Structure 1
Amino acid sequence: MTTPGSGTGAVEVPPTPDGIPFFGNGLAFSRNPVEAMEDWASLGDVVRLQMPGQSMYMVTHPALIKRILADDHDQFTISAAQRETFRGVEDHAVTTTTGDRWERLRKALRPAFTHDALDRYGDRMASTTAAFVDEWNDGERIDLYREMRLLTVNILADTLLDTNVRGNENVVMNAADALVNRANFRRPGQLLPDWVPTLAERRFERTVRALDEFVDEILTQRQRSESNDDVCSVLLTAHEEGKLTLAEVRHNVVALLLAGHDSPSVALTYIWYLLADQPDVCASLREEYDAVVNGEQPSIESYDELERTQNVVVEALRMYPPTLGVSRQTAEPVTLGGYKLPRGAQLLLPQRVVHRDERFWDNPETFDPSRWQNGGDRPEYAYFPFSGGPRNCIGTHFARQELTLALATMIGRIELDISVDGPLRFTPSLQLRPETDMEAIVTRR
């Protein structure tokens, strides 16, 4: 494939949307990040954005994204903004490190995410979901997003950490909220220097300290455990063998707790939101559940047969990817899409914009799980909900399996009547979180 805009006639600056003094394009982004990015993408495959204090380049063509994340990944690295956002919480984690250290951490984590390990997690994903959902009363009104967060924290702890966190979920959720708020474009003090002690920064430090203490308690308990097939035991074994420091163990557990519950909870929330207007799809999922599971609990053995459920998950991730975008920066001067970018240029690769680009998708605004039945002829990186290339999310297969088994378990046990408080709005931060309140009335099957 020819890279769009490639050739000898490279110019200096890509098109830039109109902005306002001092704020540039930041104000439009803070008001409605999704709408703003969709508007800006109409200017071209590479667009230069003026944010307060910095420039950023939004890249929305699959060929260019493939080059950044995979083909020429050595020319690009994680962004300074990403490292700054996670400063103080994931400094020693695989999410923020580079080079030999990143390779060492990734290698240490890999045994916890093999196919055999995923098979071991499958039944526990379903049983944790069943136990959680069975606590909902018939006719009960629930806060959909909060309940999905509580559920995914428990799934993550039960499977990857082999730990019961019931009653302590807020320790994880509060830290995740503080992290998202730290990167929120709308928060007061966002433009102040880092050394200014804002309320958001103080909250971040307080909640992260509580999470660190909580993780230390988990690690102390797990050091006495004989279990050896989850993330905690894998990391602790690497520490005992001198391959990881204790700080690296702690920060990688913290990273898994934060991102590992946040993205799946956002995804499950949007799945139910989409299903609310699709009674035929819901009926199809229940038919599949009854045929495949036959009154039992979904398991890893039934996972491959839950094809319609998997298609719903994949399609929901297309329409509402959990994160706002993948960030990178150039490690050297590059020519991208016909434009010369300097070393250190900040890049934003927004999944939702690419996932809804009519150049690569038929009827992209339509929720259509059937589009995945026969694959489809589209560029590889027209779909990348969990990033891609060597630095793709290590938990990609875990998350898809979790979403499928959790959804199937819920479909078999309950129905949810969803009500949404107005048009869907999003937080202008790391996660594509819903700002719109969503409630659901539970009906037991």
Structure 2
Amino acid sequence: MDMPAPPLPVRVPLVTKPMGVWASLQASRRNLLSIIPELATRQPMVSGRTGKRWHMVMDPGAIRHILKDHLNDYPKSLVTKNLLKPAIGESLFIAEGAEWRWQRRASAPVFSFRNVRNLAPIMTAAASRSADRIASAGPRAINLFDEMVTATFDIISDVTFSGGDGFDRDGVHRAIDAYISDAGKISLFDILGLPDWLPRPGRLMSGSGLRDMKRVADEAIDRRRQAGTEGIPDLLDLLLSGEDPETKRHMSTAELRDNLLTFIVAGHETTALSLSWALYLCAFDQGIQDRARDEARAVLGDRPATGEDVDKLPLVRAILDEALRLYPPAAMVSRTAQAPDELCGREIRPGDTVILPIYALHRHKLLWEDPDAFRPERFTHPDKADRYAYLPFGDGPRICIGASFALQEAVIILATLLARFRFTPVAGREPEPVMILTLRPEGGVWLMAEDLAG
């Protein structure tokens, strides 16, 4: 008699029939991932037309071609730029060509191993505060997504504007959240590829909040420029002192502000999501949670995790890696082809939209064994998948500059929490994976947290 298959963690139901422009718009405004055809988890490439020609690419070799070997032929798409430019200007995330190269050269030393490790005590302190907040909430259901957003925003604001005199953290946080929720929704204008000088209706609502956020950041930068560095340099100090080694150029206040806001958005939202999904998965599989707790306690005892502990926690790190596989924060990225090309034997024309559906890539049946299952041991085993089958931080020259910062922060927080609490699911409160700008747990991650230190 066949045994029933074990349950799987939550996933997005992918479409099995073609969708027109209007249906695609309606679906994408609710959940961008819902427009991915199920075929994308079984084929190397899927093409179609929804207003304009598009191609979804899941073949690792073709993805390397796009992200690394022919980077200049595949810049970020107009959709991506239209969504993010009002908030983060011509920052490192959006800039192309020479403008991107000099900013990358000037910023790279900021995220060196030494600088990231020097910031670990801030992460440890935030992890400890998070554990205390969870414990003080009592033995009841807690929305761990909200808590992880609080913890990671504490960290990114501390390492970005340490001291923070006159810096309205709550105001910046509210402006970022409002922009993501109101302006991040895909516009029909974007899907049709209309020029970006045409105003996007959903993006007009957030203008005043963004202006206030930029003004506050500009003032904080100017104050720091005058006051100088005190103690261990934070991200703002490091960026202020950074220069392009080739041109000796330094960033202007506007360039600093756009990049700092990029780091604030990327540095708390994505890490909070990774931690939230990791905690959901640990509650989903109590056996893995118990093993990770044993590992964390053996290293930490009853103290919070530090930077020096990160490399001693391979299972905690593997849980995060697997959470990033199943629920990648940037679950879909797009590029616009600039030159005639061929991918997987298929013609690519200039102007075509080339989509990398990371969500489908990470669950591809030809690239991963049992792809929808939670199996962190994939990342502790030497025979890992193809390098370009796993892209939580992108790859090539434009790989996420803050990846090491995010992973250090996430390991410190997750290990600290798993060592102290047992997390269990709340009946009827499963999160729903929904992507607008990032892959969020719709409805929150509601878990019971039993304090084992009490």
**Contact 1:420–1:437, Cα closer than 8 Å, also in 2:** no
Opposite residue 129 of structure 2, the aligned amino acid is: A
Distance 1:130 1:31 in 2: 36
**Contact 2:331–2:357, Cα closer than 8 Å, also in 1:** yes
Partner of 1:123: 121
Partner of 1:290: 297
Note the 1:102-113 alignment, pairs <5 A: 102-113=100-111
- CA 1:375–1:202: 2 relative to 1, 3 Å: same
Partner of 2:438: 431
Opposite residue 204 of structure 1, the aligned amino acid is: S
Is 1:202 matched with 2:192? no
What SS does the corresponding residue of 2:67 show, helix, strand or coil?
A: helix
Distance 2:371 2:200 in 1: 44
What SS does the corresponding residue of 1:218 show, helix, strand or coil?
A: helix
TM-score by length of 2: 0.85
Distance 2:349 2:23 in 1: 20
**Contact 1:57–1:348, Cα closer than 8 Å, also in 2:** yes
Partner of 2:235: 231
- CA 1:197–1:124: 2 relative to 1, 3 Å: closer
Opposite residue 235 of structure 1, the aligned amino acid is: L
Is 1:268 matched with 2:275? yes
Note the 1:214-363 alignment, pairs <5 A: 214-223=216-225, 224-227=227-230, 229-238=233-242, 242-363=249-370
Note the 1:183-194 alignment, pairs <5 A: 183-185=184-186
1 or 2, which has the higher helix percentage? 2
| TM-superposed deviation, 1:287 | 0.9
Distance 1:316 1:279 in 2: 15
Opposite residue 150 of structure 2, the aligned amino acid is: L
| TM-superposed deviation, 1:176 | 3.6
Query: How big is each residue's C-alpha offset from its partner over 1:136-167, in whole Å with a ceiling of 9 and x where there is no partner?
Result: 31325432222211111111122344355998
**Contact 1:94–1:252, Cα closer than 8 Å, also in 2:** yes
**Contact 1:33–1:428, Cα closer than 8 Å, also in 2:** yes
Is 1:62 matched with 2:63? no
**Contact 1:426–1:433, Cα closer than 8 Å, also in 2:** yes
Partner of 1:13: none
Match of 2:407 among 394, 400, 410: 400
Query: How big is each residue's C-alpha offset from its partner over 1:27-75, in whole Å with a ceiling of 9 and x where there is no partner?
Result: 4444554354151415732222433x43322111111111111122232
Match of 1:211 among 210, 213, 217: 213
Partner of 1:19: 19
Partner of 1:3: none
- CA 1:30–1:196: 2 relative to 1, 3 Å: closer
Is 1:145 matched with 2:148? no
Opposite residue 236 of structure 1, the aligned amino acid is: L
Partner of 2:43: 44
Query: How big is each residue's C-alpha offset from its partner over 1:247-289, in whole Å with a ceiling of 9 and x where there is no partner?
Result: 1011000111111111111111111111111111111111111
Match of 2:132 among 103, 116, 134: 134
Distance 2:318 2:234 in 1: 28
Between 169-178 and 405-414, the greater mean CA deviation after superposition? 169-178
Structure 1 gaps of 5+ residues are 1-15
Opposite residue 45 of structure 2, the aligned amino acid is: V
What SS does the corresponding residue of 1:67 show, helix, strand or coil?
A: helix
| TM-superposed deviation, 1:317 | 0.7
- CA 1:197–1:404: 2 relative to 1, 3 Å: closer
Between 244-253 and 323-332, the greater mean CA deviation after superposition? 323-332
Distance 1:93 1:116 in 2: 24
Note the 1:159-170 alignment, pairs <5 A: 159-163=159-163, 168-169=169-170
**Contact 2:394–2:400, Cα closer than 8 Å, also in 1:** yes
TM-score by length of 1: 0.87
Partner of 2:69: 71
What SS does the corresponding residue of 1:147 show, helix, strand or coil?
A: helix
Partner of 2:3: none
Partner of 1:9: none
| TM-superposed deviation, 1:301 | 1.5
Identity between Structure 1 and Structure 2 (%): 25
What SS does the corresponding residue of 1:296 show, helix, strand or coil?
A: coil
Partner of 1:156: 156
| TM-superposed deviation, 1:318 | 0.8
**Contact 2:142–2:447, Cα closer than 8 Å, also in 1:** yes
Distance 1:92 1:277 in 2: 41
Partner of 1:4: none
**Contact 2:393–2:399, Cα closer than 8 Å, also in 1:** yes
**Contact 1:109–1:231, Cα closer than 8 Å, also in 2:** no
- CA 1:23–1:195: 2 relative to 1, 3 Å: same
- CA 1:415–1:174: 2 relative to 1, 3 Å: farther
Opposite residue 77 of structure 1, the aligned amino acid is: P
**Contact 1:186–1:428, Cα closer than 8 Å, also in 2:** no
CA RMSD of aligned residues (A): 2.9
Distance 1:126 1:48 in 2: 46
Note the 1:28-43 alignment, pairs <5 A: 28-41=27-40
- CA 1:56–1:428: 2 relative to 1, 3 Å: farther
Distance 2:353 2:243 in 1: 34
**Contact 1:360–1:378, Cα closer than 8 Å, also in 2:** yes
- CA 1:428–1:404: 2 relative to 1, 3 Å: closer
Distance 1:423 1:55 in 2: 36
**Contact 1:63–1:379, Cα closer than 8 Å, also in 2:** no
Opposite residue 56 of structure 1, the aligned amino acid is: W
